Amino acid sequence: MAAGVTGGGSGTWSDRFEEGLHPAIERFNASIGFDITLLQEDLDGSIAHARMLAECGVISDEEAGQLCAGLEQIRSEAASGNFQPGLADEDVHFAVERRLIALLGPVGKKLHTGRSRNDQVGTDLRLWLRRRIDALEQAVVRCQHALLTQADRHRETLIPGYTHLQRAQPLCLAHHLLAYVEMLERDRERLRDVRVRVNISPLGAAALAGTPVPINRRSTATALGFERVYANSLDAVSDRDFTVEFSAAAALVMAHLSRLAEEVIFWASEECGFVRLTDRCATGSSLMPQKKNPDVPELVRGKCGRVFGHLQGLLTMIKGLPLAYNKDFQEDKEALFDVVRTTSDCLEAMAILLEEGVEFRPERLEQAVASDFSNATDVADYLVTRGVPFREAYQLVGAVVKRCLQDGVLLRDLSLEQWQQFHPVIEADLLEALVPRRVVAARLSEGGTAFVRVEEQLALWSERLSTK
């Protein structure tokens, strides 16, 4: 077997080993197939480490310059497709170090001074995730903008509001859409909060106990944009809480996207018909030519399972691990990479769907809110304003609805004389109060669906998102 990075004959390992791994175990053990994703972060961390070693007098400035130049050459080779590590390299860290030694000779062997792959991979993973969190936050903002645009377009449109998937009360459609803007804002807050705990440097903790080499951990932390360093070397190399916490935040993003996706699917059904799907974001059937399928929201809804599963997998991975580093941690990367990729793809797809994939049908929505009993609560509220106790009013309206169902009519179809048979305090103004638009306009409490409240929220969100 070719000499390892240390010069021994056992591949990547020291001279303690006399022979290499069994080929099947070599394949089983290697992570280069997926952790090559961390190449740019590994190079960034290594450059910062090399410069710090020179600052501390561990290596010369000339050696640090050579190391940095060599690392940048590897970056260029990767960009041109000429850096192609294989199974023998085991992981991205050894792949970089092996290539650096090939480029620089003995100087390349000095890069690993004062660090271990344990703190190195923790650093790489945090750098990688930090950048992805920033990108995901912007993807969330794009969805918020798309929702806000639709809401602004439909500030006067009505939609049935549901509880238990049963018609409950009419709503302003903009109010309904702004509820998702609020959900996504909480997602942004969670991502920013997770980023705080991602942005802690483990570099310099070495394998688990620190190092006697006179390094400056705060120098590399500053160079790499970390806010602080881990206070405990054992915790530094064994902490994967941030992968779980991020995945939990991503799972909530996906849950919110899935809820919205489910509504779009429902709205697009022929039984509902609240929206039309445009050709840009729908597919057809291979057998039934009349069909237009809501593939985008269905895929978003389905992909939740991937993210939820990875969250559970990460929790299970860490739950029984003793301090400090364990090979189990190799399992965090594929899960984390897929959580980021899936969440990012779903945010982009949902944003496109909202931007150009759905068209609301105001005429169908108006028809829907005018053809049910969702204004029943307003009758009870009307009676309360005239001194009838709410529970008495509630029972009375239930009886009215029952009578209407028996007669096949709606509340709006009853004459004033018929209403007064139920209670003498009812006057002609009740008939006006039952008009859906008046029902919506009456919900003036803070956070309610009244048009004036929605106007306030539209203005607020327009201002808040204008700088995002």
Catalytic residue annotation? 164, 285
Token pair recorded at residue 413: 């179809």
Q: Could you give the CA distance from residue 279 to residue 2 in angstroms, rounded to a whole number? A: 57
52 by Cβ neighbours in 10 Å (0-12 / 13-18 / 19+) ranks as buried
Segment (H or E) for 173: helix 173-198
Angle between helical axes of 39-55 and 92-104 (0-180°, round to 10): 60
**Looking up tokens 């509001």, which residue turns up?**
161
Token pair recorded at residue 393: 């009013």
Token pair recorded at residue 130: 């930090």
Q: Could you give the CA distance from residue 391 to residue 384 in angstroms, rounded to a whole number? A: 9
Main-chain dihedrals φ then ψ at residue 229, nearest 5 degrees: -115, 155
Token pair recorded at residue 424: 């003498």
Q: Could you give the CA distance from residue 458 to residue 450 in angstroms, rounded to a whole number? A: 12
Torsion (CA) 90, 93, 94, 98 in degrees, nearest 10: 140
Question: Of 275, 280, 307, nearest to 295 (Cα)?
Answer: 280
131 by Cβ neighbours in 10 Å (0-12 / 13-18 / 19+) ranks as middle
Contact residues for 81 (Cβ-Cβ < 8 A; gap 6+): none
1-7 LR contacts (CB < 8 Å, sep 24+):
2/88, 5/94, 5/97, 5/98, 5/101, 5/109, 6/109, 7/109
Pairing of strands 228-229, 200-201: parallel
Note if the bond before 88 is cis, omega within 30 degrees: no
Q: Could you give the CA distance from residue 97 to residue 105 in angstroms, rounded to a whole number? A: 11
Q: Could you give the CA distance from residue 278 to residue 283 in angstroms, rounded to a whole number? A: 9
What DSSP string describes 422-464? H-TT--THHHHHTSHHHHHHT--STT---HHHHHHHHHHHHHH
What DSSP string describes 87-151? GGG-SHHHHHHHHHHHHHGGGGGGTTTT--HHHHHHHHHHHHHHHHHHHHHHHHHHHHHHHHHHH
